[in-house]
Chain A
Amino acid sequence: MILSIAREFINGFWEKRIRAAAAAVAMVKFLKPNKAVIVLQGRYAGRKAVIVRSFDDGTRDRAYGHCLVAGIKKYPSKVIRKDSAKKTAKKSRVKCFIKLVNYQHLMPTRYTLDVDLKDVVTVDALQTKDKKVAACKATKERFEERFKTGKNRWFFTKLRF
């Protein structure tokens, strides 16, 4: 009798593992940091942004899944070869925004943007205006230097709609 109980216990042990493994194969979370998303609602609708930090289960203030995104308020203009250095500098300027957005108001894309913004863009940067401005300035620098390398071109082109 003890053997049968032990066998059932062992079977139960493995069954849970097998189920977990099968479940793990099917599940891939994609709303993770560095994911490029498109904001769908609000003032920044149609703008591309990158997820800096995600709160899947919400917080006490926001009881829904949301994430902290850093996005582009004003895209850099098209830089052509004829431009002088002063003109390219002026055209490559990026204006940024930082926002907490509900998952429902985002469209995830298959693109990612590997810019390290975790130390700069934090939730308490959104508390006061001057902290927010400082954080926006820092992300603006990081975005601009990424734009100048010519990588992630999709992220820095305006979405036409």
Chain B
Amino acid sequence: MAAGKKTKKTHESINNRLALVMKSGKYTLGYKTVLKSLRSSKGKLIIISNNCPPLRKSEIEYYAMLCKVGVHHYNGNNNDLGTACGKYFRVSCLSIVDPGKTEF
């Protein structure tokens, strides 16, 4: 859950898995929809960028603690997370609803 020193290899694999989820699974991007997916317990994994404001980050972590969903702190800021999702905008937090073809 909490990232220690991330090696290059695991970072690549997260990016690969994220690309696969974008292609084959269901996800929502953005703080409001992340909270919505947590409230309706549809989220399976939450990914937060490292420059997410700390109050927002702890709020998402608290919600995730209440519904026992994992949170992954992405090793990169919201620009990198947006690029990893294949989008041309920044993404600070995203929620994976259905992993599609990735193994969980």
Residues of A that sit less than 8 Å from B by CB? 22-23, 26-31, 56, 65, 103-104, 107-108, 110
Contact = CB atoms under 8 A, between A and B. Distances in A.
Interface residues of B, number: 14
A22 B42 contact: no
Nearest to B45: A26
A22 B104 contact: yes
B14 interface: no
A24 to B, nearest CB: 10
Contacts of A104: 35
A28 B41 CA distance: 6
B63 interface: yes
B13 interface: no
Interface in B19-66: 35, 39-42, 44, 59, 63, 65-66
Contact of A28 (B35, B44, B66): B66
24 contacts: A22-B104, A23-B44, A26-B44, A26-B68, A27-B41, A27-B42, A27-B69, A28-B41, A28-B66, A28-B67, A28-B68, A29-B40, A29-B41, A30-B41, A30-B66, A30-B67, A31-B39, A56-B40, A65-B40, A103-B39, A104-B35, A107-B59, A108-B63, A108-B66
